[in-house]
């Protein structure tokens, strides 16, 4: 019997590829919820569904809903037989969270609460999947890689609200016995990313001849990230959903804690200056940049994060193509689709 999966934030950068993976690799019915904020784009969803023709149109449907609003009776009825919830939808821009933290509290805490309230009344639910970030652990010093249950150390309102969403998920899992999975993820890049993010914004600036600001630590060392390609992340999300029981068993054996937590990360640490250099080479254009330390407009921004993905490796769910290949695909796509550069 076919399953039903609800994907929040499905019109977003990560969510639309998760839809594609489920359409391709399962026969499940997919319900997408999104409020279509500035970073959400229904074109992403439509493009994915179109790839699968009549089958895609039959199996995937879209519902407009803002998660910080309670689910009305009509929505609750339509979602009454959901088997899987993948909660990706969130406000995620650090600078925006610093300028207006209230929105992030509403979206990332209240929104998660409303979804958990829906979940605890679903007799059909087999998994609640909360998608979180490496930023909940704060900056990584001396090449520290955080394990799944290490202490939170939020440095900005965005990461604080994601930590709070995790805690709500943990509480509901233990109180109401909701089978739950929490993943932390490193920096994601790839096609159809919103233009304000570092990779597409760098492509845009190099094409326009604009200066790129590279933030550094006090020793003038550029900030760096463990980058993961968006398609590889979508594969991992699908893998963890389909192999949740195995992940749950192995994680509990290692920690004696629940719910299940898994770290997802790229394997290679790459500085933002190196990212710009790769893009410059692919575009065959020189670029102007400035190294900036202690930018007053960026309080709460960290220079580096780090995750230990030993658990995911043991499960066999690591998909990580070389950065050189992923960034080449990304640059080529944006060149062919310049309207996505804002």
34 and 86 Cβ atoms separated by less than 8 Å: no
Q: Taking each helix axis as running N to C, give the angle between helix 323-336 and helix 198-208, from 0 to 180 degrees, rounded to the nearest 10.
A: 60
Residues labelled catalytic: 134-135, 158
Question: Which of 325, 120, 111 is CA-nearest to residue 232?
Answer: 325
Please, which residues bridge with residue 6 across strands?
31, 85
Residue 276's CB is within 10 A of a number of other CB atoms, namely 22
Give Cβ neighbours of residue 73 (< 8 Å, ≥ 6 apart).
none
Quick one: which H or E segment has residue 135? none
**Cα separation of 342 and 332, whole Å?**
16
C-beta separation of 215 from 222 below 8 A: yes
C-alpha dihedral over 252, 253, 255, 257, to 10 degrees? 30
Burial pattern 54-76, b for ≥16 Cβ within 10 A else e, equals: eebeebbebeebebbeebeeeee
C-alpha distances in angstroms, 81 versus 55, 66, 119?
21, 20, 11
């Amino acid at each position: 019997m076919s399953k039903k999966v609800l994907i929040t934030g499905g019109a977003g950068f990560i969510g639309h590829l998760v839809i594609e993976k489920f359409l391709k690799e399962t026969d499940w019915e997919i319900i997408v919820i999104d409020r279509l904020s500035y970073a959400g784009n229904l074109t992403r969803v439509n493009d994915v569904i179109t790839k699968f023709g009549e089958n895609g149109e039959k199996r995937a449907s879209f519902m407009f809903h803002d998660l910080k609003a309670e689910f009305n009776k009509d929505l609750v009825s339509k979602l009454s037989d959901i088997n899987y919830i993948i909660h990706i939808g969130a406000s995620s821009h650090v600078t925006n969270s610093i300028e207006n933290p209230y929105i992030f509290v509403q979206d990332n805490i209240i929104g998660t609460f409303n979804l958990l309230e829906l979940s605890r009344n679903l007799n059909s639910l087999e998994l609640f999947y909360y998608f979180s970030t490496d930023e909940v652990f704060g900056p990584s010093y001396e090449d520290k890689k955080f394990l799944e249950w290490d202490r939170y150390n939020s440095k900005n309102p965005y990461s604080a609200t994601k930590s709070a969403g995790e805690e709500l998920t943990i509480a509901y899992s233990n109180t109401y016995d909701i089978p739950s999975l929490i993943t932390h993820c490193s920096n994601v890049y790839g096609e159809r990313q919103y233009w304000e993010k570092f990779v597409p914004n760098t492509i845009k600036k190099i094409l326009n001849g604009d200066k790129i600001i590279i933030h550094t630590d006090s020793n003038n060392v550029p900030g760096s990230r463990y980058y993961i390609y968006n398609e590889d992340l979508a594969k991992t999300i699908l893998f963890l959903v389909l192999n949740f029981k195995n992940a749950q068993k192995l994680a509990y054996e290692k920690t004696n804690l629940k719910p299940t937590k898994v770290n997802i990360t790229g394997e290679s640490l790459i500085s933002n200056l190196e990212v710009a250099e790769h893009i410059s080479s692919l575009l065959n254009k020189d670029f102007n940049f400035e190294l900036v330390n202690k930018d007053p407009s960026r309080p709460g921004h960290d220079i580096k994060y780090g995750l230990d993905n030993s658990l995911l490796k043991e499960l066999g769910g690591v998909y990580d193509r070389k950065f050189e290949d992923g960034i080449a695909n990304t640059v080529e796509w944006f060149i062919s689709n310049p309207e996505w550069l804002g």
